[in-house]
Amino acid sequence: MGDEQRVSWQELIAQSRDDFEAGTDFTVAVEEEFALLDPHTLALTDRFEEIYAAALETDLAPHVVGELIASEVEVRTGRCENFGEAAAAMQERRSQIHGVARELQIALGGTGTHPWSRWQDQRIIDTPHYRRNDEILRYVVWRNNTFGLHVHVGIAGADRAIAVHDALRNFLPEVLALSASSPFVEAVNSGLHSARTEVFTRMFPRCGIPDVYGDWRGWEDYVAFLYRTGSVTEHTQIWWSVRPHLAYPTIEIRIADGQPDLAEAQSLAAFCYSLAVRCARALDEGEPLPSLPNRLLEENLWRAIRYGLSGELLDIARGEQVHARARIEQLLDWVAPVADEIGAASFLNIPERNAAERQIARFGEGAGLEEIYSEQVRMGEPIGG
């Protein structure tokens, strides 16, 4: 990262703390990653440089970036003050990137993995950041042909931000279950609802559910240890599924699969945003929040990977199984007091079938991967596009 070439990691951490201390509560930004596809075969196609150059000539320019492979593009809403603004920006960004892609005869995919294109055939984009990651991670980064949705939530106060981060750990499996969209990869039915999580979260270092940091000092000590020991050379190499961001005063939720459907993407982002704000409110009001051990959260994460929204998650406090849908309904009730305030209430919804369930059902009916994926690609196309 360019900034880190100009400042030391000590300065980076200190600046990040100052930014959180001066931060603004409950801003929100959403990032979505899309596959670049041949419009005829729907295979991945290495055309990022073309779509990026074309986007630079449009209003999308500040909101489009590369993301590892040349068959992928990321679009960002930018900072929004409430979820209504973010939802509108998500719709606009999708319309913009589809418009640019259409002019270039490129199709876009929104599921968490591509069903059949081989990772061996993908090219890593030529930037210093991704060249470094290629050199460090090798096979791990080569395999990462995955597509996700990330939500940044502004939290004021350094210690308070870490407390919100720690609380959000508890809900990562539920977010993943709701978002699951990637049952197919490497031309097979994986038997999972989120193969993306196995490819990315299970393979990358410093990825998945992090430990509790307790306060800013705990987070600072951890980051300092990574830099001092040469474990990281830039802060973006900390890939945890929820993380305090060192470039922006936000907590970033990174566990979710990409979403083919705009409405489902908006609902998922609203859920993440509402959880973060509800955690902050609970902390402010002295409401106790659990601090669950990783070994138990990992049980729920595996259930979310394997069965998604169709399976059961653990009510860890009670030591009982509960259907994933029922568990998410409980969380929707829990976030309801803040959801209206932040403009998220009207977007919160559990679909009749999420993207993984739709694809798995069609596979069970005998549809092939090409037909199933084509349906998901068409679902993501803007109306009238």
Domain residue spans in the chain? 2-379
Other beta carbons less than 10 A from residue 65's beta carbon: 15
Q: For the chain, how long is the longest CA-to-CA vector?
A: 57
Instruction: Tell me the C-alpha distance between 94 and 86, whole Å.
Output: 12
Q: What is the pLDDT of residue 7?
A: 75
CA-CA-CA-CA torsion sign (109, 205, 152, 265): positive
Instruction: Tell me the C-alpha distance between 342 and 339, whole Å.
Output: 5
Q: What is the pLDDT of residues 294-317, one digit of tens each?
A: 999 999 999 999 999 999 999 998
Q: What is the pLDDT of residues 56-74, one digit of tens each?
A: 999 999 999 999 999 999 9
Q: What is the pLDDT of residue 357?
A: 98
Residue from 385, 370, 368, 379 nearest 41 by CA:
370
Mean pLDDT of the chain: 96
Q: What is the pLDDT of residues 215-270, one digit of tens each?
A: 999 999 999 999 999 999 999 999 999 999 999 999 999 999 999 999 999 999 99
Which pTM was predicted?
0.96
Core vs surface per residue 21-44: b (16+ CB within 10 A) or e? eebeebbbbbbbbbbbbeeeebbb
Other beta carbons less than 10 A from residue 125's beta carbon: 19
Residues 6+ apart with CB under 8 A from 351: 264, 267
CA 256 to chain centre: 4
User: What's the pLDDT band for 3 if we cut at 50, 70, 90?
Assistant: very low
Average pLDDT value for residue range 20-37: 98
* 157 has pLDDT over 50: yes
Q: Where are the alpha helices (DSSP H) in the chain?
A: 2-6, 9-21, 48-55, 83-103, 128-137, 139-142, 158-168, 172-179, 195-199, 216-228, 262-284, 294-307, 324-339, 355-364, 369-379
Core vs surface per residue 352-368: b (16+ CB within 10 A) or e? eebbbbbbbebbeeeee
Instruction: Tell me the C-alpha distance between 61 and 52, whole Å.
Output: 8
Q: What is the pLDDT of residues 226-239, one digit of tens each?
A: 999 999 999 999 99
User: Which has the higher per-residue pLDDT, 2 or 334?
Assistant: 334
User: What's the pLDDT band for 6 if we cut at 50, 70, 90?
Assistant: low
Other beta carbons less than 10 A from residue 279's beta carbon: 26
Q: What is the pLDDT of residue 384?
A: 60
First to last CA, the chain: 36
Domain at 2-379: CATH code? 3.30.590.20
Instruction: Tell me the C-alpha distance between 23 and 362, whole Å.
Output: 46
Q: What is the pLDDT of residues 81-107, one digit of tens each?
A: 999 999 999 999 999 999 999 999 999
User: What's the pLDDT band for 2 if we cut at 50, 70, 90?
Assistant: very low
Tokens matching residue 187:
């031309």
Instruction: Tell me the C-alpha distance between 168 and 286, whole Å.
Output: 16
Instruction: Tell me the C-alpha distance between 307 and 174, whole Å.
Output: 11
The DSSP result for 334-368, as a single string, is HHHHHHTTTT-GGG----SS-HHHHHHHHHHTT--
User: What's the pLDDT band for 383 if we cut at 50, 70, 90?
Assistant: confident
Share of the chain above pLDDT 90, in %: 94
Residue from 255, 256, 254, 236 nearest 246 by CA:
236
Element (H, E) at 28: strand 28-37
Average pLDDT value for residue range 182-190: 98
* 128 has pLDDT over 90: no
CA-CA-CA-CA torsion sign (314, 317, 320, 325): negative
Other beta carbons less than 10 A from residue 118's beta carbon: 12
Q: What is the pLDDT of residue 129?
A: 87
User: What's the pLDDT band for 385 if we cut at 50, 70, 90?
Assistant: low
Instruction: Tell me the C-alpha distance between 78 and 300, whole Å.
Output: 32
Q: Which amino acid is at 310?
A: S
For the chain, the residue count is 385
